[in-house]
Structure 1
Amino acid sequence: MIYRSSLSSLPSSIDSERVSQAVECVHSKDGAEEGPTTDRVRSIRKVHSSRADVENEEELNRALNSWFDMDDAMRMETNRSEAKGEQGLQADDIEGGATIQKVFTNKSTGEVDLPPDGGYGWIVTLCVFLVMFSSWGCNSGFGVFLAFYLRSDTFAGANKYDYATIAGLTVGLGQGLAPLVAVCYKVIGLKPTMLFGTALMFAGFLLASFATKLWQLYLTQGVMVGVSISFMFVPATVVLPGWFLKKRAYAMGVSLMGTGCGGVTYGLAVNKMIKDNNNTKWALRMLCISCTCTMLVAIALMKQRNPLPVTGIRHWQPIVNQCKQVLDLRVVKNPVVPLITLWFVFSLFGYNLMIYTLSAYAQARGMSQHQGSTLTAITNGAQVVGRPLMGLAGDRFGRTNVTIVLTALLTIFLFGFWIPAHTFVQLIFFCICMGSCVGVANVMNTVLTADLLKPEEFLPAWSFANAAGSPYLLSCELISQALVTRNKSNPYLHTQCYAGACFSFALLMIFVLREQSVRQKLTRLAKSEDLDEEKYTDKDKMDAESQPSLLRTQSHRYDVLLGRGVCKYFRRMFYPMRT
């Protein structure tokens, strides 16, 4: 297999200096004929090259499995379907081979065409940053709108539950329609899908600025904007994996910063315009113009490295096949999928309860409108730094380990910091601490799915995790406002406790997921009897004669850890391992 990539070769287990010395020994004999020594050098070179290729492929395969994404799953499924259709291969034949071959094999040349890890890919990263800036980043500033709607009588007969429903619609539709948008991406292509979402957002914000009745606000700022968010951000996340492999974590981190930057920018801008005009009309029009212009720039510069073939809309059967691939409910039989879904949904629920309530809470505690919007902006600003660092820390210390730590910190911050905080300075420190951790669900959802499931199960599992929680997310802010009391000292106390309870339940789910992850790793190690030499220092390493004894000891340890029983279950859950 030939690799075309800009990645540098990885070090080989063969000593390259010995090869060089052999070459110099041959060439030092000036004019000598080629003999057995030359053949031996060629043989060494051949072994060196073959082993380097094997190690290079293994390293690249680990990198791909570690950051497996939706584009990889779609590309693998497309290659699999083409191979079955054109060559008539059996499913077992196609399933064999490394993941990197299944994803990046070019059918026309037979080569494994790897991403360049740079070049124009950084322009694409900037485009994804702008998309996140104008979609979820823009929506992060909705808390400022909500605070204004709650304290003013903008629409006759409307109550706090009506405005809370609008907040729920944007989140529920934006997250829940992701599987449908993935199908549309395969049917009509990247840019048409994103242009449709941009047009819908333009119309939604513009029409909302002229809304005079509550149902009009529901339809525009609720439904149209919520649907547009999904049609904009889902295709953008599909593009990036085609450009990066070993540097994918850095590229993803840069793109995720767009959400926090957008929340800071639009949160402060919206508050300023509402304060100056004492209404939301020009704030909505500002969002309409700025988000549309930013999206058009991003779409114009967006480029797929190897575009997937689109099915078109002329025939229904290819569309039905795409729906079956994305919405394959058989994946739910794997217990890991419901666990990831529950953790993801409750983490998002706690996040939205906090981010949408923060501004209104500050004003309920006697602070000004400007201070409330500033707190929202600080929270989003902390996410700019926190989200990329989460991904890098997950690679270094283990994804489930980092997720457990961050979710535990979120629970502590909500119960131990937010509830007693009642001054502006205290809330500033709370927003910095909370914002640096609160995006853990958005960052870790995809990578945990890739870690705990097979590549073939990734796409339907990702779709189920996004769609299953949509009804619950629709009621997010409704529950928040229903829990508000008339207590003058802290009317949002029950809301704060409920948000903390959501993160507490999410923490319980991630502990269960860690047990699953440890079980999978120990099972693989037990089958291969592979010793983790990183656990031993140079002083503790054993010589070759004692290896059989160590293997028996390690094998016995696997048998004990993988056994049945409640004690062994919790022992796996807290077993010291990078997972």
Structure 2
Amino acid sequence: MTNRLSGLAKVDDDQRVGTDATAGKGNGVDGINEGAMRGGEPKEQPWEGLPEKTVDVPPDGGYGWVCVACVATINGHTWGLNSSYAVFLAYYLSNNIFPNATALEYAFIGGLSISQALIISPVATMTTRLYGTRTTLLIGVLFETASFIAASFASEIWHLFLSQGICFGWGMGFQFVGSVVIAPQWFTNRRSLANGIAAAGSGLGGLTYSLAAQAMIKSIGLPWAFRTLGIIAFVVNTTCSLLIKDRNKQIGSSQLSFDYRLFKRPQFLGLLAFGFLSMLGYVVLLFSLPNYARRVGMTASQGSIIGAVFNLGQALGRPPIGYFSDSLGRLNMASSMTALCGVFCLLIWIFAKSFGVLILFAILGGTVAGTYWAVVGPITTEVIGIVDLSSALSITWLVLVLPTTFSEPIGLEIVALNGTYTGAILFTGFMYLGAACILWLVRAWKIGELEEKEANLRTEGLIRPKAGVDEGIGAQTTGQSSAILSKSSFVKRMIMWRRV
């Protein structure tokens, strides 16, 4: 039996058991129940006593695709707009809009918008529980719109901290928390593909608004550029918020802002460490490429193009990451693509001194740099389960506040200390490699969990024995059957291949 069993509470198409012993049709729960009835006596079900809500099977499509399109559009008009901050940064520095403001202060504004989006997540989760997903999204739309309007009247640097940093971050956070769990609720087999498509919206938005913001600033001026972006975000995100439908009632989502019991699970701590290191690398990469281009002798226009190409890479890379995650394994894909980004940084970016080579790195690095955002929902569901997903993600967002706030300032301080970007590039590359190594450990744990569950189900007689192993040997005791499929050693699980 090579099918993966990610938990009795999560039965999807690639995790069904007992279908070989039954008619082969219907959902996985029916297959197990029929298999348990063999011999005339029903066997005790492993989930006996658990709430019925834990066996909900998502439709894996249908209106879910409308929701995916809406989430992708919201991502484009939140995270994508945030990616265009590099254009505003270049304008601030070159035109001395805010006297006495330093580059480090501007760097903190970019990081602050991301960290505030994450730090507001418990409030957004509580709002979702009390008032629903749609209300949470609309609150975020109002905050985001207000941030652009307020920024258009900014005359001091602290005005930008409040508007483009904190207020925009809160708006982005409410919309992110309200929308990030939607795709996993609607999909099973194609969950990672759906999440990848949704995440690609941020790359497309970053590409579009990196170019559009520069054009608007040049043609209508900075204040009206802000106001125009605010109006666009309000109209588009409001429409998407009204179209999105969640499945919280069907799956029985806990919607707890904090479930401290999750900290007792080592695999969850591994996911947190994976996200922490990934963000230390990602934020430096996201905001540094245009400035790096200018440091090596390119023009501001070339720098903005490189930033736009990087966002294009994110848009192109995230759907394939999601697609192959469903076929090759979500943890396999996430860890390998994260490691690949680190390799690109250390082998291409560090030697990129010409426009052509930097464009190559931007497109290649962009395809894998945002792997975390493409997989965070599916791999958290894989490891923690759909019922505790909202609580797990709320804790995750808070843990990511520190790296997202200080990553870019750390990168700029390394540049200031060494006089070149070499140290910052090494820092970025090794953060990605470290994140990949930690997730590989989580993968090894997951394989062990699957092996244990397969052994338990075989002991209960709920799955057929493997051909050539149990069949033809004769009747076996429960202990013998369990021993045949015992858990491998951790070292073996580190090097073995399995779709997980």
> 1:169: Cα distance to partner?
0.8
Superposition pairs for residues 379-528 of structure 1, below 5 Å? 379-485=310-416, 491-528=420-457
- Is 1:146 paired with 2:101? no
Letter matched to residue 545 of structure 1: G
Given that residues 117 and 246 in structure 1 are in contact (C-alpha distance below 8 angstroms), is that contact kept between their aligned partners in structure 2?
A: no
Say which SS state the counterpart of residue 484 (structure 1) adopts: helix
- Is 1:353 paired with 2:284? yes
Q: 1:117: which partner in 2?
A: 61
In structure 2, which of residues 185, 197, 201 is the aligned counterpart of residue 254 of structure 1? Answer: 197
- Structure 1 pair 507/554, CA: closer, same or farther in 2 (3 Å)? farther
Given that residues 382 and 436 in structure 1 are in contact (C-alpha distance below 8 angstroms), is that contact kept between their aligned partners in structure 2?
A: yes
> 1:505: Cα distance to partner?
1.7
- Structure 1 pair 151/487, CA: closer, same or farther in 2 (3 Å)? farther
Say which SS state the counterpart of residue 117 (structure 1) adopts: coil
Given that residues 71 and 180 in structure 2 are in contact (C-alpha distance below 8 angstroms), is that contact kept between their aligned partners in structure 1?
A: yes
- Structure 1 pair 340/13, CA: closer, same or farther in 2 (3 Å)? closer
Letter matched to residue 261 of structure 1: L
User: Aligned partners of 2:336 and 2:118: how far apart in 1?
Assistant: 25
In structure 2, which of residues 241, 245, 248 is the aligned counterpart of residue 299 of structure 1? Answer: 241
- Structure 1 pair 513/248, CA: closer, same or farther in 2 (3 Å)? closer
User: Aligned partners of 1:525 and 1:481: how far apart in 2?
Assistant: 50
Normalized against structure 1, the TM-score is what? 0.72
Residues 378-425 of structure 1: per-residue CA shift (max 9 Å, x gap): 111122221111122112111221122112211111111101001111
User: Aligned partners of 2:421 and 2:391: how far apart in 1?
Assistant: 38
User: Aligned partners of 1:306 and 1:523: how far apart in 2?
Assistant: 30
Superposition pairs for residues 177-326 of structure 1, below 5 Å? 177-241=120-184, 243-276=186-219, 280-304=222-246, 325-326=256-257
Q: 1:70: which partner in 2?
A: none
Q: What is the RMSD of the two structures over their aligned residues, measured on CA atoms?
A: 3.5
Superposition pairs for residues 97-136 of structure 1, below 5 Å? 99-100=54-55, 103=56, 115=59, 117-118=61-62, 120-136=63-79
- Structure 1 pair 334/254, CA: closer, same or farther in 2 (3 Å)? same
User: Aligned partners of 1:267 and 1:138: how far apart in 2?
Assistant: 8
- Is 1:95 paired with 2:47? no
Residues 43-96 of structure 1: per-residue CA shift (max 9 Å, x gap): xxxx96xx744646469xxxxxxxxxxxxxxxxxxxxxxxxxxxxxxxx96525
User: Aligned partners of 2:296 and 2:474: how far apart in 1?
Assistant: 66
**Identity among equivalent pairs (%):** 28
Q: 2:10: which partner in 1?
A: none
User: Aligned partners of 2:160 and 2:26: how far apart in 1?
Assistant: 59
User: Aligned partners of 2:267 and 2:152: how far apart in 1?
Assistant: 44
Say which SS state the counterpart of residue 97 (structure 2) adopts: coil
User: Aligned partners of 2:357 and 2:418: how far apart in 1?
Assistant: 21
Letter matched to residue 339 of structure 1: G
Which range is displaced more, 142-151 or 506-515?
Answer: 142-151
> 1:469: Cα distance to partner?
2.0
5+ long unaligned stretches in structure 2: 1-12, 33-46
Given that residues 60 and 191 in structure 2 are in contact (C-alpha distance below 8 angstroms), is that contact kept between their aligned partners in structure 1?
A: no
Given that residues 72 and 201 in structure 2 are in contact (C-alpha distance below 8 angstroms), is that contact kept between their aligned partners in structure 1?
A: yes
- Structure 1 pair 401/492, CA: closer, same or farther in 2 (3 Å)? same
Letter matched to residue 488 of structure 2: L
Residues 282-305 of structure 1: per-residue CA shift (max 9 Å, x gap): 332232122122112223433457
Residues 99-127 of structure 1: per-residue CA shift (max 9 Å, x gap): 32xx47xxxxxxxxx64831x44333322
In structure 1, which of residues 168, 171, 181 is the aligned counterpart of residue 114 of structure 2? Answer: 171
Given that residues 518 and 573 in structure 1 are in contact (C-alpha distance below 8 angstroms), is that contact kept between their aligned partners in structure 2?
A: no
User: Aligned partners of 2:322 and 2:193: how far apart in 1?
Assistant: 8
> 1:541: Cα distance to partner?
5.7
- Structure 1 pair 126/556, CA: closer, same or farther in 2 (3 Å)? closer
> 1:134: Cα distance to partner?
0.6
Q: 2:497: which partner in 1?
A: 576
Between 1 and 2, higher relative CO (CA 8 Å, sep ≥ 6) is seen in: 2
Which range is displaced more, 516-525 or 226-235?
Answer: 516-525
Q: Which has the larger radius of gyration?
A: 1
> 1:227: Cα distance to partner?
0.5
Given that residues 186 and 308 in structure 1 are in contact (C-alpha distance below 8 angstroms), is that contact kept between their aligned partners in structure 2?
A: no
User: Aligned partners of 1:557 and 1:544: how far apart in 2?
Assistant: 12
> 1:428: Cα distance to partner?
0.9
Given that residues 60 and 189 in structure 2 are in contact (C-alpha distance below 8 angstroms), is that contact kept between their aligned partners in structure 1?
A: no
Letter matched to residue 452 of structure 2: T
- Structure 1 pair 437/553, CA: closer, same or farther in 2 (3 Å)? farther
Given that residues 117 and 170 in structure 2 are in contact (C-alpha distance below 8 angstroms), is that contact kept between their aligned partners in structure 1?
A: yes
- Structure 1 pair 131/473, CA: closer, same or farther in 2 (3 Å)? same
Residues 508-542 of structure 1: per-residue CA shift (max 9 Å, x gap): 211221221122122223434599x9xx9xxx967
Letter matched to residue 99 of structure 1: T
Say which SS state the counterpart of residue 561 (structure 1) adopts: coil
- Structure 1 pair 200/382, CA: closer, same or farther in 2 (3 Å)? same
Say which SS state the counterpart of residue 446 (structure 1) adopts: helix
User: Aligned partners of 2:241 and 2:486: how far apart in 1?
Assistant: 54
- Structure 1 pair 511/211, CA: closer, same or farther in 2 (3 Å)? same
Letter matched to residue 492 of structure 2: R
Residues 485-520 of structure 1: per-residue CA shift (max 9 Å, x gap): 3767xx222221211121122122112212211221
- Is 1:545 paired with 2:468? no
- Structure 1 pair 427/554, CA: closer, same or farther in 2 (3 Å)? farther
Given that residues 279 and 400 in structure 2 are in contact (C-alpha distance below 8 angstroms), is that contact kept between their aligned partners in structure 1?
A: no
User: Aligned partners of 1:486 and 1:459: how far apart in 2?
Assistant: 41
Given that residues 135 and 229 in structure 1 are in contact (C-alpha distance below 8 angstroms), is that contact kept between their aligned partners in structure 2?
A: yes
Q: 1:316: which partner in 2?
A: none
5+ long unaligned stretches in structure 1: 1-6, 16-46, 60-91, 105-113, 310-321, 563-568
Q: 2:3: which partner in 1?
A: none
- Count, aligned residues: 466
User: Aligned partners of 1:542 and 1:232: how far apart in 2?
Assistant: 51
